[in-house]
């Protein structure tokens, strides 16, 4: 049995094809543009409310300079600790099947979905319990600088783990397997083959964790308090300035945070893409 040859299709058969594509793409562009406009609007609002004099005045304030330094140091430390956890956690979840893996996977999402205030409250209560008190006897945590780092780490690490997990998922296990046949132990295959290939994901995880830590406020307010020159980070400064009606200073500190976050994002992009032929 032979099939009849299909009639060749002519442009006139589908007069609406071109138009519907244009409509579809315009529709997509409209949604994208509306969100980008909102974000740029936020930055514009902050920028237009703040004069260089406000920025200078904010940076001249001892309290805000302390908050700036503490934010930089605590975010960097919490990011480093987050990566330290995220790399092995992401690799384990990506490459190994073990009992309770789905449960561990779900638990890792808890810091992402819990309200920030609840995380702060839970940390506060945890450090009132016997194990927490034992740690407090060695090193003061609650309402002190370590609590800031711990609060930032708790949330930032969950994002870092997710990112590293996806990173390792995207690296084919085949090259690692070849390395095993060539004479590597699992650990050698990881350090020689997998880890170098994960460097871009590592940078993304670090950037994400750092930016998350910089914006962390709820857990810090509860677990660290808002004591000036002690546990004050930049979001705390915004809160404290707002609470006394000093909107100009609050906006100036917010702008400093925006600039710091953008600087880290740009640096990460520059380093991440170097050698890739894209820049």
Partner 1 sequence: MISLQNIAIRQDAFSLSGISLEIPAGQYGVLMGPTGCGKTTLVEAICGLRPIAAGRILLLDRDVTRLQPAARGVGYVPQDGSLFSLLTVREHLAFAPAVRGWTSAAIDARVEELARLLGIGHLLGRRPNGLSGGEIQRVALGRALAMRPGVLLLDEPLSALDDDTRKEMHDLLLNLRGQADVTVLHITHSRSEAQCLGDRWFELRDGKVRQIEARLP
Residues that bind partner 1 in the complex, under the rule CB under 8 A = 172, 174-175, 177-185, 188, 192-193, 196-197
Q: Which residue, 69 or 186, is less far from partner 1 as judged by CB?
A: 186
To the nearest 10 degrees (0 to 180), the angle between helices 17-49 and 247-273 is 130
> What is the secondary structure of 148-212 as a DSSP string?
HHHHHHHHHHHHHHHHHHHHHHHS-HHHHHHHHHTT--HHHHIIIIIHHHTHHHHHHHHHHHHHH
Q: CB-wise, 11 or 275, nearer to partner 1?
A: 275
- We find the least distance from the C-beta atom of residue 106 to partner 1, in angstroms, to be 23
Least Å from the CB of residue 203 to partner 1: 14
What is the CA 83 to chain-centroid distance, rounded? 11
Which lies closer to partner 1 via its Cβ, residue 20 or residue 177?
177
Q: Quote the tokens at residue 107.
A: 């638990």
Query: Shortest approach of partner 1 to residue 222 CB, angstroms?
Result: 44
Compare residues 95 and 230 and give the one whose CB is closer to partner 1: 95
Q: How far is the CB of 56 from partner 1 (least distance, A)?
A: 45
CB of 189 to partner 1, least distance (A): 9
Q: What is the C-alpha separation between 163 and 226, in angstroms, rounded?
A: 31
- Helix, strand or coil for residue 43? helix
| Closer of 123 and 179 to partner 1 (Cβ) | 179
Cβ-based nearer residue to partner 1, 133 or 186? 186
**Interatomic CA distance for residues 64 and 87, integer angstroms:** 34
The CB-of-219 to partner 1 minimum distance in angstroms stands at 38
Retrieve residue 216's tokens. 């962390």
Smaller CB distance to partner 1: residue 144 or 180? 180
Query: Shortest Cβ distance from residue 102 to partner 1 (Å)?
Result: 16
Least Å distance, CB 269 to partner 1, is 19
d(CA 188, CA 195): 10
- In terms of Cβ atoms closer than 10 Å to its own Cβ (0-12, 13-18, 19+), residue 102 is exposed
Residue 9 DSSP symbol: P
Helix boundaries (H) for the chain: 17-49, 52-60, 62-95, 101-107, 110-113, 116-126, 130-138, 145-170, 173-181, 186-189, 195-197, 199-215, 218-223, 234-243, 247-273
Closer Cβ to partner 1, 30 or 172, answer by number: 172
């Amino acid at each position: 049995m032979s099939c009849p040859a299909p009639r060749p299709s002519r442009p006139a058969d589908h007069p609406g094809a071109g138009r519907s594509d244009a409509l579809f793409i315009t529709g997509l562009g409209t949604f994208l543009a509306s969100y980008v406009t909102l974000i740029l609007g936020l930055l514009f609002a902050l920028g237009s409310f703040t004069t260089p004099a406000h920025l200078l005045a904010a940076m001249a304030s001892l309290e805000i300079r302390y908050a700036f330094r503490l934010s930089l140091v605590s975010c960097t430390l919490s990011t480093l600790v987050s990566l330290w956890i995220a790399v092995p956690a992401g690799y384990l979840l990506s490459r190994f099947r073990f009992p309770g893996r789905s449960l561990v996977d779900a638990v890792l999402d808890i810091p992402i979905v819990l309200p920030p205030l609840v995380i702060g409250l839970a940390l506060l209560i945890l450090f009132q319990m016997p194990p927490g008190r034992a740690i407090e006897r060695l090193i003061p945590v609650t309402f002190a600088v370590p609590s800031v780092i711990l609060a930032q780490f708790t949330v930032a690490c969950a994002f870092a783990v997710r990112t590293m997990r996806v990173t390792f998922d995207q690296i084919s296990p085949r090259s690692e397997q070849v390395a095993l046949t060539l004479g590597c132990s699992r650990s050698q295959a990881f350090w020689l083959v997998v880890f170098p290939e994960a460097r871009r994901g590592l940078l993304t995880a670090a950037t994400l964790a750092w930016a998350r830590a910089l914006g962390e406020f709820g857990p810090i307010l509860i677990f660290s308090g808002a004591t000036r020159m002690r546990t004050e980070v930049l979001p705390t400064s915004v809160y404290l300035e707002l609470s006394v009606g000093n909107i100009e200073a609050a906006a100036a500190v917010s702008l400093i945070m925006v600039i710091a976050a953008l600087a880290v994002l740009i640096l990460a992009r520059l380093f991440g893409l170097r050698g890739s032929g894209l820049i």
